[in-house]
């Protein structure tokens, strides 16, 4: 039953993201760790209802940007303004992670962080329950409001798991799911809190080509059917080019380009940034031009990039 989940947007009826209507509007975000500046005056403007991809070589500061937006890190400088659908403005910088989540920003993690000893259903219920009121006393006494909340969270969790296609694996332990399913479960957990903005940190890393295609569909579905704005970090250029409305490029903590996927691809600054790291974006983009999904460049390139990051990280810093 995804009917309740789908809000107001008919199939395929996504309103064109409006350039003036920004859900997220950040400026001058600067985050330093001792001598390392991971974010250096980053600007981010995200339109309501769009899929915005954040790309950049390893260590560019993409995850740091996510952590700053969601309250996990507190940037030293800058403003992060969030405008929910209901109106009003909220400053996100320095807000506690759970409060950011309550405002409507949900995220996934680059290195999957599920509750491994709990079942898939329980993982999602935990998220759904953060929106329900029930105090420990009424739970202990088994009062009606506690039972209602329990049923509601159960229903909600089932819906969301259905939506991401994990309905058959409800009672499996999160830790024993396949990599692709774990990524999907993380997305389900994020969706269960009914977000307006979903932040996905390399959701395709470590998944196989089939799973990548399914993921692409899922991201589109979340965006089109649920009307959720998606901020996507991804190294797989084919996925980025096919799914993103706009792309922003980070390098050494600075934004070096922004625009439509094709614009960004031709941008000399971007080519330059990537030439130092690898020729991957161009190769991958060619794969995307070939249109059919069979031509995905590497099966597990997420992990490959991670390994490469581990190997030549220091060398790159010197360069």
Partner 1 sequence: MSAEALVRGRAAERLRTVRWYQRPRWKRLGAMIALAVLAVMVTGVQGTQRDLFYALEENLTSPLLLVWLALTVGVWAVREFLSPQVKAVSDGYRSVVEEPRGKLRRAWREEKWLRWGALGALVAAAVFLPSGLERYWQTVLVDQIAIYVLVAIGLNVVIGWAGMLDLGFIAFFAIGAYSAAYWTGALPVQPPMELNNFAVIPVAIVTCLLAGVLLGAPTLRLRGDYLAIVTLGFHEIVYLTAKNLDDVTGGTGGVKVERFSLDLGFWSYEWGVIDPMPYYYLLLVFIAVVVFFFWRLEHSKVGRAWTAIREDEVAAASTGVNTVRFKLMAFAIGASTSGVAGVAYASKVGYINSENFVILLSVLVLAYVIFGGMGSIAGVLFGAAFLVWLPEALRDFVDPKDRYMYLGVLLVIMMIYRPQGVIPSRRRARELKLSESGESDADAMTEPAGGRLS
Query: Residue 149 or 226: which CB sits closer to partner 1?
Result: 149
Return the number of other C-beta atoms located less than 10 Å from residue 80's C-beta.
25
User: Among partner 1, Mg ion, ligand ATP, none, what binds residue 47 when CB lies within 5 to 8 Å by partner kind?
Assistant: none
Q: In sequence order, what are the residues at sequence separation of 6 or more whose Cβ sits closer than 8 angstroms to the Cβ of residue 208? A: 180, 299, 300
Site for partner 1 in 76-115 (CB under 8 A): 96-98, 101-102, 106-107, 109-111, 113-115
Cα–Cα distance for residue pair 77/74, rounded to 1 Å: 9
Any contact of residue 251 with partner 1 (CB under 8 A)?
no
Helix residue ranges, H only, 111-191: 120-129, 136-141, 144-164, 179-191
User: Among ligand ATP, partner 1, Mg ion, none, what binds residue 140 when CB lies within 5 to 8 Å by partner kind?
Assistant: partner 1
Site for ligand ATP in 1-20 (CB under 6 A): none
Angular region, 239: left φ>0, alpha ψ -120 to 50, beta rest: alpha
**In the complex, what is the shortest distance from the CB of residue 235 to Mg ion, in angstroms, rounded to a whole number?**
9
Site for partner 1 in 164-203 (CB under 8 A): 173, 175, 189-190, 193
State the SS3 of 92-122.
Answer: CCCCCHHHHHHHCEEECCCCCCCCCCCEHHH
What is the H or E stretch that residue 233 is in? strand 229-233
Rounded to whole angstroms, the maximal C-alpha distance in the chain is 66
What is the H or E stretch that residue 250 is in? strand 246-251
Any contact of residue 138 with ligand ATP (CB under 6 A)?
no
Q: Which stretch binds Mg ion (CB under 5 A): 17-25, 81-89, 108-116, 184-192?
A: 108-116
| Residue 198 and residue 184 in contact, taking contact as beta carbons nearer than 8 Å | no
User: Among ligand ATP, Mg ion, partner 1, none, what binds residue 261 when CB lies within 5 to 8 Å by partner kind?
Assistant: none
Any contact of residue 38 with Mg ion (CB under 5 A)?
no
Q: Which residues bind Mg ion (CB under 5 A)?
A: 63, 110
Q: Which residues bind ligand ATP (CB under 6 A)?
A: 33, 36, 38, 56, 58-64, 110, 309
Q: Which residues bind partner 1 (CB under 8 A)?
A: 63, 67, 70-73, 96-98, 101-102, 106-107, 109-111, 113-118, 122, 125-127, 129-132, 134, 136, 139-142, 146, 149-150, 153, 173, 175, 189-190, 193
């Amino acid at each position: 039953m995804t009917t309740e989940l789908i809000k107001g947007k008919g199939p395929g009826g996504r309103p064109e993201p409006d350039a003036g209507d920004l859900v997220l509007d950040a400026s001058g975000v600067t985050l330093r760790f001792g001598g390392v500046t991971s974010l250096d005056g980053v600007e981010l403007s995200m339109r309501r209802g769009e899929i915005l991809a954040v790309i950049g070589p390893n260590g560019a500061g993409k995850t740091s940007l996510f952590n700053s937006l969601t309250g996990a890190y507190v940037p030293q400088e800058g403003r992060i303004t969030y405008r929910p659908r209901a109106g009003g403005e909220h400053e996100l910088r320095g807000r506690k992670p759970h409060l950011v989540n309550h405002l409507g920003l949900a995220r996934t993690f680059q290195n999957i962080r599920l509750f491994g000893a709990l079942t898939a259903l329980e993982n999602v219920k935990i998220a759904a329950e953060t929106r329900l009121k029930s105090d420990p006393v009424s739970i202990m006494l088994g009062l009606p409001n506690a039972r209602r909340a329990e049923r509601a969270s159960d229903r909600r969790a089932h819906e969301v798991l259905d939506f991401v296609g994990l309905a058959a694996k409800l009672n499996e332990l999160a830790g024993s799911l396949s990599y692709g399913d774990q990524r999907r479960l993380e997305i389900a957990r994020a969706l269960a809190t009914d977000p307006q903005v979903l932040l996905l940190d390399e959701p395709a890393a470590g998944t196989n080509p089939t799973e990548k295609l399914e993921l692409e569909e899922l991201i589109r579905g979340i965006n089109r059917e649920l009307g959720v704005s998606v901020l996507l970090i991804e190294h797989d250029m084919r996925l980025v080019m096919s799914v993103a409305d706009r792309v922003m490029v980070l390098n050494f903590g600075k934004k070096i380009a922004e625009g439509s996927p094709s614009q960004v691809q031709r941008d000399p600054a971007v080519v330059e940034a990537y030439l130092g790291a690898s020729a991957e974006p161009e190769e991958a983009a060619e794969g995307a031009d070939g249109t059919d999904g069979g031509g995905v460049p590497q099966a597990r390139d997420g992990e490959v990039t991670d390994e490469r990051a581990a190997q030549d990280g220091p060398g790159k810093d010197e360069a």
